[in-house]
Structure 1
């Protein structure tokens, strides 16, 4: 793993030197409930950034700064996108998402909202309220619908990350992190990217976690995992809506103010532990705000997950 931007660690790469080769590169910044991204428009597929370049751009002290970098590139220009176009020819844009350490990531629920907002504000697409847009990602096609207050993303189906026989008392792993007196059991959820969800007992326990370094998860999913620490509201359900609070450590980034796929995984795990599949809507409070998660069943009987929340453009610039 590239060590350049893991929070709390000393960089082994000089971002100034790396960025000097990118002079004149135009970028934008956006966030979705505090999860912030550097966005690059690349309609001709001219720039495939290296991990070192991504890490340097996302460095918060010596670069632009961000939880990740998203490149807007035509789906037809890259192999993963061309494969997806066979199933949905309308998915013109591919969301090329990189973690802040430069590693590739399958998807980001907050990132795809910021990505579509970027496409809209930069004039690449027209998307009035109520209209939908297909976006190609490494986790498949995602349908994004614009609302008056933000965007709703069809995240698709979900699955447990480990086989059913790996579950013991509705847990499949043990998680330890700075600030915990003892390791806690976790449940791993696949949202197109991997998550491990842990419940804490009190607000003080949630606030006292140290999430600069990666929590230790055993067994660790093959591709690593994002780790969500969740506190249930009391009561859990208010006016038919489930309510939880969450902090998250993201692979290749560190703690972030929000994680969209993580919010979906947290709601799914909490619902599973509550034993109530009838809780179809959830408010998930993260340090950067509140996102909404909704579960529906499609015509084939498969459960689908929808994530909704705001997206905000915060600035534009050019690398010096």
Structure 2
């Protein structure tokens, strides 16, 4: 039997498994079974809590930041490996704090290793904030076809440690009419796939110096989720890019699971983007892995 904790960030839910010494080898089939909402626990992904020095990928994290004791081994619901998860890393940090494995004092930072590099987590008014690091326009801007849209729509490719394409829609009605139980189609397809965000700018777009948008997301390897942290960041970045130089650097993004904050700020290696929002642990149990 394997002990687990269930947690979520704005409805983006995860099964957390503590494996500090890296003794547990989870197969893609086991991860998919755990995340199955009918026959398993049910989740958008699995977070394995492992020390950086106990996992091969952790060597790069420790080389980047020797204080990054913990590594977030994140798997999508279909068992595939993902580079990063903005909601997941806040839940991961909350688990570390609640389990007594780490502390985040006011004004201090907790570095966490991921496959996208080390990410720094701090406390915020709404829960936790994670610095997602440098972002970039990918230049891969495929047309996106989705059930519920009459024609294919253009997109903007954004990388925030994992790949996204962001699509602007004209109205809340268009957003609600999407049938995201069916996977949208990218034309051309991207070699590694992408998370796909569908976005409606607020009316007005900027209120009291803060940008406002609403979105829904189809996550690579998962399907539609109530929230996607890195997708929220990519959404705010894309809308700011579309809006031009006078657009704000602070955003509020409404997703089906709640509200998340995004902030862009300068750093020594270029502009970074940070994501803030809540993280909750909801129950614990044991599961028999077969």
Tell me whether the two structures share a fold, i.e. TM-score over 0.5.
yes
Is this contact kept in 2: 1:177–1:216, CA < 8 A? Answer: yes
Question: 1:161 maps to what in 2?
Answer: 138
Greater mean alpha carbon deviation, residues 200-209 or residues 272-281? 272-281
TM-score when scaled to structure 2?
0.97
Task: Summarize the alignment of residues 45-124 of structure 1 with structure 2, pairs less than 5 Å apart.
Answer: 45-124=22-101
Once the two structures are superposed, residues 69-112 of structure 1 have per-residue CA deviations (whole angstroms, 9 ceiling, x without a partner) of: 00000101112111220121000000000000000000000000
- How far apart are the structure 2 equivalents of 1:250 and 1:96? 17
Is this contact kept in 2: 1:156–1:306, CA < 8 A? Answer: yes
Is this contact kept in 2: 1:129–1:148, CA < 8 A? Answer: no
Do residues 283 (structure 1) and 252 (structure 2) align? yes
Do residues 269 (structure 1) and 246 (structure 2) align? no
Higher-Rg structure is: 1
Do residues 41 (structure 1) and 9 (structure 2) align? no
Is this contact kept in 2: 1:139–1:193, CA < 8 A? Answer: yes
Unaligned runs of 5+ in 1: 1-23, 167-171
Per-residue deviation at 1:213?
Answer: 2.0
Root-mean-square deviation (Å): 1.1
Per-residue deviation at 1:146?
Answer: 1.6
Once the two structures are superposed, residues 265-308 of structure 1 have per-residue CA deviations (whole angstroms, 9 ceiling, x without a partner) of: 111111111113541100000000000000001135x1110000
Give the match's secondary structure for 1:119: helix
Give the match's secondary structure for 1:212: coil
Question: 1:316 maps to what in 2?
Answer: 284
Give the match's secondary structure for 2:154: strand
Q: 1:135 to 1:45 in 2, by over 3 A?
A: same
Is this contact kept in 2: 1:161–1:221, CA < 8 A? Answer: no
Picking from 252, 257, 268, the partner of 2:221 is 252
Unaligned runs of 5+ in 2: none
Task: Summarize the alignment of residues 158-307 of structure 1 with structure 2, pairs less than 5 Å apart.
Answer: 158-162=135-139, 172-276=141-245, 278-300=247-269, 302-307=270-275
Once the two structures are superposed, residues 121-164 of structure 1 have per-residue CA deviations (whole angstroms, 9 ceiling, x without a partner) of: 111112233321000000000000023430000000111122xx
Per-residue deviation at 1:44?
Answer: 1.5
Structure with the higher fraction of residues in strand conformation: 2
Aligned residue pairs total 288
- How far apart are the structure 2 equivalents of 1:238 and 1:28? 38
Is this contact kept in 1: 2:124–2:276, CA < 8 A? Answer: no
Is this contact kept in 1: 2:103–2:110, CA < 8 A? Answer: no
Is this contact kept in 2: 1:130–1:147, CA < 8 A? Answer: no
- How far apart are the structure 1 equivalents of 2:149 and 2:247? 32
